[in-house]
Chains A and B, each alone.
Chain A
Amino acid sequence: MKHVLETREVSGQSPNYLLAKFQDLVDWAVNASRANSLWPMPFGTACCAIEFMATAASRFDFARFGMERQAFSPRQADVLICAGRLPFKLAPVIRRIYDQMPQPKWVISMGACASTGGIFDNYAMVQGIDTIVPVDVYVPGCPPRPEGLLYGVLLLHKKIKGESLFDTVRRREEESLDERGLRLPPEQIDELSEPFGNSIHQFRSA
């Protein structure tokens, strides 16, 4: 509705009024369809995947939110749910899966380890999957309860409903790796991977 009001203010009887109205209608229809029929691609690597299974099973049942079909192929998936810690050895794998998913696509980082590396602040573990793929929703918890994941899915719905096909700022674009083969500048990856909380005491010599 926002740009409808703007066009009115500028020129009283804007010739864009009908177009803007039409665009809103299209966005509403497209976003409602996308948000209410997300096909998740589960990338379960650890205990979060158990909670993910509970979320998918009858008691919590994320099929209620349109996620009836789990896509075990990235080619038919909308949302990548990384459930669990991601070792460096799996980093190229999740990147390849993300690249194989067709647009539009979203990523949920489920749990402390996927979001930040969690307790695994060591040589083998990616410190947050946002250094590898762009993340839309971070679900905290170790592991998060199914309610937590469902809340994350609902937040993702909200985000999807705010997107627009006609507005380049609010439209998700494909991001490929840069010429260094990284998603973010190296300084930013180092900063994101800084130790925090308990893990600053992990140095053996300290």
Chain B
Amino acid sequence: MNSSVDALRATFGTAIGRALEVCGDTIVYVDRARAPEILKWLKETPGEEYNYLVDVTAVEYRDPERALEVVYFLRSLHRRADLRLKIELPRDQELVVDSVVPVWQGANWLEREVYDMFGITFRGHPDLRRILMWETYAEGYPLRKDFPLRGRFSRAEQVRQALAANPEAHYSMEELSIAEAFDGLPEDMKERLRRGERGKLPYSE
């Protein structure tokens, strides 16, 4: 068992749930409300220093009663230690967790992927948009168990929506301006981006 577990229990007490060891990896369940604080502590405390966020992912079990889980894979590069944290999201509540982008910048796209595939919202994420499916994708969240393998729409409708997409409008104005490329664009492209040619995003107001 990873020694960080005892340190976590000593510091956060009841916010730390059960811990188990699977195939040599330590898994710790933590409380959803205090998760950002715990993750920040794990990164910044001397002796812990999990400075590398390997992956953020989520799990949905076939058991319809069982909660969804968000999983954080942490690694301390110089201590060569791994730790896995899980947050349980009960199904009767909203699927929301706090974003860890302020702690690890690298979580940005990882959390977008979890949002895209599972529909879990990350509170405080700077740019929570779909990352793998196109942004106007309206069929739901593909890795959820209630999602049919072939999608919800007919094949003809899927082809129609795909062909209606503009292949040149996959960058938001924000992305382009962050890249300092927006001002250098031709006028007609700026105009198209202003008009929002990507269409209406289905999960935004």
Q: Residues of A contacting B147 with CB < 8 Å? A: 123
Contact B156 A189 (CB under 8 A): yes
Contact A93 B167 (CB under 8 A): yes
Q: In this assembly, does A186 line the interface, its C-beta being within 8 Å of a C-beta of chain B?
A: yes
Interface residues of A (CB under 8 A from B): 88-89, 91-93, 95-96, 121-124, 126-127, 131-132, 177, 180-182, 186-187, 189-190, 192-193, 195, 202-204
Contact B149 A122 (CB under 8 A): yes
Once the chains are docked, how many angstroms separate the CA of A190 from the CA of B149? 16
Q: Residues of A contacting B162 with CB < 8 Å? A: 88-89, 91-92, 126
Q: In this assembly, does B105 line the interface, its C-beta being within 8 Å of a C-beta of chain A?
A: no
Distance (whole angstroms) from the CB of A121 to the closest CB of chain B: 7
Distance (whole angstroms) from the CB of A99 to the closest CB of chain B: 11
Chain B 75-100: CB-based contact to A (< 8 A → 1; otherwise 0): 00000000000000000000000000
Q: In this assembly, does B119 line the interface, its C-beta being within 8 Å of a C-beta of chain A?
A: no
Contact A92 B166 (CB under 8 A): yes
Contact B133 A89 (CB under 8 A): yes
Q: Write 22 A-B pairs (CB below 8 A) sorted by A numbering.
A: A89-B165, A91-B162, A91-B163, A92-B165, A121-B149, A122-B149, A123-B142, A123-B149, A123-B151, A123-B158, A126-B159, A126-B162, A131-B155, A132-B163, A180-B160, A181-B160, A181-B163, A182-B160, A186-B154, A186-B157, A190-B155, A193-B156
A-B contact count (CB 8 A): 72
Contact B159 A182 (CB under 8 A): yes
Q: In this assembly, does B127 line the interface, its C-beta being within 8 Å of a C-beta of chain A?
A: no
Contact B149 A203 (CB under 8 A): yes
Distance (whole angstroms) from the CB of A20 to the closest CB of chain B: 42
Extra contacts, 7 of them, besides A92-B165, A195-B150 (Cβ < 8 A), are A88-B162, A91-B163, A92-B167, A126-B162, A181-B164, A186-B154, A187-B156
Q: Residues of A contacting B151 with CB < 8 Å? A: 122-124
User: What residue of chain A has the Cβ atom nearest to residue B145's Cβ?
Assistant: A204
Q: Which of B150, B157, B167 contacts A123 (CB 8 A)?
A: B150
The 4 closest A-B pairs by CB, nearest first: A186-B156, A123-B151, A193-B155, A88-B162
Q: Residues of B contacting A123 with CB < 8 Å? A: 139, 142, 147-151, 158
Once the chains are docked, how many angstroms separate the CA of A9 from the CA of B158? 53
Q: In this assembly, does B134 line the interface, its C-beta being within 8 Å of a C-beta of chain A?
A: yes
Distance (whole angstroms) from the CB of B168 to the closest CB of chain A: 8
Contact B150 A121 (CB under 8 A): yes
Q: Residues of A contacting B139 with CB < 8 Å? A: 123
Q: Say yes or no: A131-B167 contact (C-beta < 8 A), given A121-B150, A123-B150, A124-B133.
A: no
Q: Residues of A contacting B150 with CB < 8 Å? A: 121-123, 195
User: What residue of chain B has the Cβ atom nearest to residue A195's Cβ?
Assistant: B150
